[in-house]
C-alpha cells in the first residue's frame, strides 16, 4: 500500500469516527429522552434481578445496569440490529425477561425504540433542580408511575423483593406504613438501598414519596 493511499484511508477513518461521535451525543434538550431516568430504570428493573444481567452474575455476558453494558446490545439509529430489543419483543421460550415475568410494556419498548432512533445517547442530569409537584400528590398519577418505572420489574408479586408486591396499592401501603419504602429509597441505614442495582432516585422523586407518606399514604 503506498503512503498516500494509507493517509487518505486514515483521514476517512478519523472523519467518520468523529462524525459518528458528534451524532452520538446530542444533549437531553435536543432529544427529550433521558437515559439515566427513563431508559436505564427499564433495564435495571426488568433485567438485573438476582441471577440475571447484573455486574455479579452477567448472565450471557450482559450487565444491564450501566450505559456501557446496555450498549453491547444496542445499535444507535438501528432498531432492527439492536439485539436487546429483539429479545424483549420475543414471546415464548426466548422472551426477555423470561417467563413467568411480565414482558416489558409496549410503552416502554416504544420509548427504547425512540431513544435508539435518536442515536441512543447517554443523556443524564436531565432534571432542573426545582420540584414542582409537591402539592396535591396523588397515588395514581405521581407515586404509581415512579414505582412502575423503577421498581415493579422486581416487585411484581408476592415473591417480589423482600415480599413486597409494589404493583398493588396494598403492598405499597404496607411498605409505606412500616417505613421500608422511604428508608430504602433514601438509602437510610438499616434498609436495603432501592432500586437494587440502579442509581438512587432523584431528590424530587424521593421528596414526592416522602410527602405522600407524610400525608397518610392515601389511595387517591
Nearer Cβ to ligand HEC (121/161): 161
CB of 208 to ligand HEC, least distance (A): 12
Q: How far is the CB of 41 from ligand HEC (least distance, A)?
A: 8
Q: How far is the CB of 198 from ligand HEC (least distance, A)?
A: 6
Q: Collect all residues with Cβ–Cβ distance below 8 Å to 15 and sequence separation of at least 6.
A: none
- Other C-beta atoms closer than 10 Å to the C-beta of 32 total 13
Residue 199: count of CB within 10 angstroms of its CB: 15
Minimum distance from residue 168 beta carbon to ligand HEC (Å)? 13
CA–CA separation, 146 vs 201, rounded Å? Answer: 9
Query: Are 98 and 87 in contact, with CB atoms under 8 Å apart?
Result: no
Interacting residues with ligand HEC (CB under 6 A) = 44-45, 48-49, 150-151, 153-155, 161-162, 164, 175, 180-181, 184-185, 191-192, 194-198, 201
**Closest residue (Cβ) to ligand HEC?**
161
Instruction: State in angstroms the smallest separation of the CB of 202 from ligand HEC.
Output: 11
Output 196 or 208, the one with its CB closest to ligand HEC.
196
Closer to ligand HEC by Cβ: residue 44 or 217: 44
Q: Read off the C-alpha cell for 191.
A: 434498609
* CA pseudo-torsion sign 154, 155, 160, 163: positive
**Residue (22 or 192) nearer to ligand HEC, CB:** 192
- Burial class (CB within 10 angstroms; exposed 0-12, middle 13-18, buried 19+) of 65: buried
Q: Which three cell numbers stand for residue 128?
A: 432542573
Nearer to ligand HEC, 62 or 150 (CB): 150
Report the alpha-carbon distance of residue 155 to residue 81 in Å, rounded: 31
- Please compute Rg for the chain using Cα positions: 20
> Minimal distance in Å, beta carbon 209 to ligand HEC?
8
Q: Which is nearer to ligand HEC, 123 or 180 (CB)?
A: 180
Amino acid at each position: 500500500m503506498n503512503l498516500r493511499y494509507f493517509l487518505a484511508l486514515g483521514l476517512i477513518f478519523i472523519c467518520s469516527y468523529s462524525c459518528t461521535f458528534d451524532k452520538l451525543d446530542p444533549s437531553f434538550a435536543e432529544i427529550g429522552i433521558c437515559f439515566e431516568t427513563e431508559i436505564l430504570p427499564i433495564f435495571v428493573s426488568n433485567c438485573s434481578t438476582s441471577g440475571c444481567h447484573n455486574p455479579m452474575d452477567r448472565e450471557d455476558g450482559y450487565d444491564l445496569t450501566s450505559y456501557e453494558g446496555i450498549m453491547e446490545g444496542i445499535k444507535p439509529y438501528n432498531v432492527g440490529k439492536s439485539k436487546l430489543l429483539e429479545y424483549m419483543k420475543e414471546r415464548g421460550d426466548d422472551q426477555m425477561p423470561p417467563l413467568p415475568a411480565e414482558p416489558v410494556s409496549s410503552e416502554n419498548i416504544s420509548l427504547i425504540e425512540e431513544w435508539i432512533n435518536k442515536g441512543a445517547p447517554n443523556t443524564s442530569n436531565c432534571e432542573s433542580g426545582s420540584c414542582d409537584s409537591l402539592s396535591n400528590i396523588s397515588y395514581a398519577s405521581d407515586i404509581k408511575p415512579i414505582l412502575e418505572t423503577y421498581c415493579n420489574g422486581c416487585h411484581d408479586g408476592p415473591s417480589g423483593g423482600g415480599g413486597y408486591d409494589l404493583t398493588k396499592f396494598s403492598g405499597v401501603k404496607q411498605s409505606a406504613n412500616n417505613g421500608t419504602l422511604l428508608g430504602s429509597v433514601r438509602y437510610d441505614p438499616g434498609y436495603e438501598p432501592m432500586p437494587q442495582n440502579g442509581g438512587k432516585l432523584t431528590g424530587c422523586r424521593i421528596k414526592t414519596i416522602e410527602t405522600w407518606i407524610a400525608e397518610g399514604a392515601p389511595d387517591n
